[in-house]
């Protein structure tokens, strides 16, 4: 299995903090968010290589950081060659770019680089390996109003039945954590999805398209999880991680 960490966003909602620094390298509890994520991935014996995909603006930042990071697995930094929020490839575009750049032909773990979590990834990995299907990690916010801000998932017998990005009328309070596992057969479906002219920006839109064609198993967690989308969420995460 290979891992792709999506870190090519420009995080304009966190300006000025991210004007000259990528969001995943902002510190929470004394170390960059990226290192919190890697700490979870590096415990997985199934993962052989880790690919961090970023943009032309921040490639040097990640390369400089990587030189000082004590990596437990091979890590490479991939430049998607975009330069601004206007020409970004989007999450699916970056996944495809990484797959093509590194000739990935294996099962793939995909994680959003602005995730901060205490989820034990071994559990969803076991689920993924048991059934050999796509898998997604969900978190129950237990609030329909709050759910409207996220990608909302409805499941039945732990199988995804519906996925909506920021719905006005959520069908559940289960939301996507931005953690996905795709078997190697899904790689061709990513290309098919994009070739049909579908939106490359949100992974959730692909999940909505995919679950109508392939089964997607859901792992629901209540372990600590933060989506660092704005300054308020960053400050909350910093405060609560420091207090643990």
For residue 241, is pLDDT > 80?
no
**How far from 37 is each of 32, 48, 60, 233, CA to CA, in Å?**
9, 16, 20, 17
- pTM for this prediction: 0.94
3-state DSSP assignment of residue 212: coil
Buried b (16+ CB within 10 A) or exposed e, 122-158: eebbebbeeeebbbbbbbebeeeeebbebbbbebeee
For residue 243, is pLDDT > 70?
no
Q: Locate 99 and state its tokens.
A: 């797959």
For residue 244, is pLDDT > 60?
no
Q: What is the predicted pLDDT for the residue at 60?
A: 96
Q: Locate 153 and state its tokens.
A: 């998932």
Under CATH, domain 1-118 is a member of which superfamily? Spore Coat Polysaccharide Biosynthesis Protein SpsA; Chain A (3.90.550.10)
Q: What is the pLDDT of residues 174-203, one digit of tens each?
A: 999 999 999 999 988 999 999 999 988 888
Q: What is the predicted pLDDT for the residue at 93?
A: 93
Domain ranges of the chain: 1-118
Q: What is the pLDDT of residues 95-137, one digit of tens each?
A: 999 999 999 999 999 999 988 888 889 989 988 888 788 999 9
Contact by Cβ (8 Å): 19, 99: no
Q: What is the pLDDT of residues 147-182, one digit of tens each?
A: 998 889 999 998 999 998 888 999 899 999 999 999
Q: Average pLDDT over the chain, rounded to whole?
A: 90
pLDDT classification of 204: cutoffs 50, 70, 90: confident
Q: What is the predicted pLDDT for the residue at 192?
A: 92
Q: What is the pLDDT of residues 10-45, one digit of tens each?
A: 887 778 888 889 999 999 988 999 999 999 999 999
Q: What is the DSSP string of 66-112?
A: HHTS--SS-EEEEE----STTS---HHHHHHHHHHHTT--S-EEEEE
For residue 3, is pLDDT > 60?
yes
């Amino acid at each position: 299995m290979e891992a792709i960490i999506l870190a090519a966003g420009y995080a304009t909602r966190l300006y000025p903090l991210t004007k000259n620094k990528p969001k995943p390298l902002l510190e929470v509890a004394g170390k960059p968010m990226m290192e919190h994520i890697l700490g979870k991935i590096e415990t997985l014996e199934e993962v052989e290589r880790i690919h961090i995909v970023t943009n032309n603006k921040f490639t040097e930042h990640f390369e400089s950081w990587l030189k000082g990071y004590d990596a437990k697995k091979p890590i490479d930094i991939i430049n998607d060659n975009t330069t601004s929020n206007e020409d970004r490839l989007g999450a699916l575009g970056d996944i495809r770019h990484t797959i093509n750049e590194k000739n990935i032909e294996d099962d793939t773990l995909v994680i959003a680089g602005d995730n901060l979590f205490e989820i034990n990834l071994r559990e969803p990995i076991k689920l993924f390996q048991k059934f050999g299907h796509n898998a997604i990690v969900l978190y129950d916010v237990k609030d329909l109003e709050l759910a409207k801000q996220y990608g909302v998932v409805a499941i039945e017998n732990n199988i995804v039945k519906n996925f909506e990005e920021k719905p006005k009328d959520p069908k559940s309070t289960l939301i996507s954590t931005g953690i996905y596992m795709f078997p190697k057969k899904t790689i061709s479906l990513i290309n098919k999805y994009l070739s049909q002219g579908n939106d490359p920006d949100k992974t959730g839109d692909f999940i909505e398209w995919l679950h109508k064609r392939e089964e997607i198993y859901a792992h629901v967690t209540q372990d600590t999880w933060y989506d660092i989308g704005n300054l308020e969420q960053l400050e909350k995460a910093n405060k609560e991680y420091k207090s643990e």
